[in-house]
Structure 1
C-alpha cells in the first residue's frame, strides 16, 4: 500500500515538473547559441531552437549587441510604434529565454488591450506618463499612471494595456521571460479573425452593420 502511495506521489511530482517545464522556455545547455548562417536564416525557421549553433570560437562582440532600437519605429493609427526584438532580429538572444520591445506612444496614443500567451512582461517607462494596467482572471483591473523610472509587471497570459496620458511622447521598454512571447491583440483577435458573425452579434449585443464596421476596421482583407 505504501509502495503504491509512493509511486503515485512520484507520478504527481513528475507530472507537475513536466507541466512546469513545458510552460516556459527550456534551459540552455551551453553559454550561448549564435545561429550558424551556413544552415539558413533564423527568419525562415518557425521553431527558433532548431538551428545549429556557430562554434563558440567564431562568436564575436557584434553577436551580442543590438542597435536597432535607438529611434522609434513606424506609428500606427492608434499612436503606437513598437520595435520587437527577438532572435529573428537579434540572434544573440537565441536559447537565452528572453526578448524585449521598444514601444513609443504619441500624446493620447494607446497600446490596445492584448496579451502574451507565453511570457510575463515587465514594462519600464523611459520617458513620459503612461496609464498602464492589466485585468486578472476575475476581471479585476490593476491600473495606475506610471512615470519615468517606474516599472509595472503584467503576468503571463493576462490582458494588459497602455495609454499616454502626458503632454509629451512616451517611451516604454518591455522585457519578456521568453524568446517567443507571442502576441494576441484583443480587437484583431475578435473582429479580424473570421469568427462567426451571428456569434459576435450575440456576444456583444451589436447589430450586423456594427459588426461589419468593426470587421472592416480590424481585418485588413475586408478593408480593401
Structure 2
C-alpha cells in the first residue's frame, strides 16, 4: 500500500472519529462544575454554557434533587412531566446527562416526539405502559412494558408512551445529554408556521382541517 493511500486512509478515519466525538456532549475536564448564578449563562446556537463557581464553595445540596417526589401538573392529554437539567439541578452541569419524571393518567399519552441530541432509557416505576419507537425505515418497535421493566429509545428516533393499565403510571427517563432537546411531532408540524399549502398536499387535509390542527398546536393562534 502506497504512503499516500495510507495517509488518506488515516485522514478519513480521523475525520469519522471526530464526527463521532462531536455527536455527543463533551467530556468534562474537571470533577464537577456547579453553575455560578452571579454570572448568568452564555448562549450558543446549541445550548447555554453555565460558568462554574469555585469548587471550594460546592455543598452536598448541589448534588441532591428533591423535586421528583410527586407528579407535576397534568395536561389535557393526561400527561405530567418534570424535566430535570442543570438549570434546576446544578450538580448535573457538564456531566452529560439529564432526566425526567413522566406521569400518565389512565389512558393518558406522551405524544410522538424525539430528542435530537440524546438516547433515552425509560424505567417504569409503576403501571403498564404501551411504549415504542419508529426507526428510519418506518418500522415500529413497541410493546407493553410493566413495573420494573426498561426500554431504550435510540437517539433522534420518534418514540411514544400510553398508559394502558387500570391505574396511573409513572416513568423515569434518563437521557445522555444535559440538553437533549424535545421536538413533539404534532407541534413541530402544525405549530411551527409551515406553509399551509404544503401541509395540505403532504397530509391530504382540507384548509379547514389544517386550520383546526393549527389552532390546537400553535400557541400563537
Name the TM-score class by shorter chain: over 0.9
Is 2:13 the counterpart of 1:16? no
How big is the shift at 1:83? 0.4
In the alignment, what sits opposite 1:184?
Answer: 183
Matched, 1:113 2:92: no
1:7 alignment counterpart: 7
Determine if contact 2:200/2:210 at 8 Å carries over to the other structure: yes
**Ranges of 4+ aligned residues in structure 1 off by more than 2 Å:** 44-52
Distance 1:93 1:206 in 2: 44
Q: Which residue of 2 aligns with 1:39?
A: 39
Q: RMSD value over aligned CA atoms?
A: 1.4
Q: Secondary structure at the match of 2:220?
A: helix
Match of 2:99 in 1: 100
- Per-residue deviation, 1:6: 1.5
Point out where structure 1 has 5 or more consecutive residues left out of the alignment.
Answer: none
CA contact (8 A) 1:113 1:160 kept: yes
Q: In 2, Cα distance between the equivalents of 1:49 and 1:212?
A: 35
Superposition pairs of residues 1-224 of structure 1, within 5 angstroms = 2-40=2-40, 42=41, 45=43, 50-222=49-221
Shift of 1:140: 0.5
Q: Deviations over 1:171-219 (max 9, x none)?
A: 0000000000000000000000011111111111110100000000001
Q: Return the TM-score normalized by structure 2.
A: 0.96
Relative to the length of structure 1, the TM-score reads 0.95
Question: Residue 100 of structure 2: SS of its match in structure 1?
Answer: strand
Please tell me whether the aligned partners of residues 49 and 94 of structure 1 are also in contact (alpha carbons under 8 angstroms): no
In 1, are the aligned partners of 2:97 and 2:174 still within 8 Å (CA)? yes
Tell me how far apart the structure 2 counterparts of residues 85 and 128 of structure 1 sit (CA, whole Å). 22
**Uncovered stretches (5+) of structure 2, i.e. residues with no partner:** none
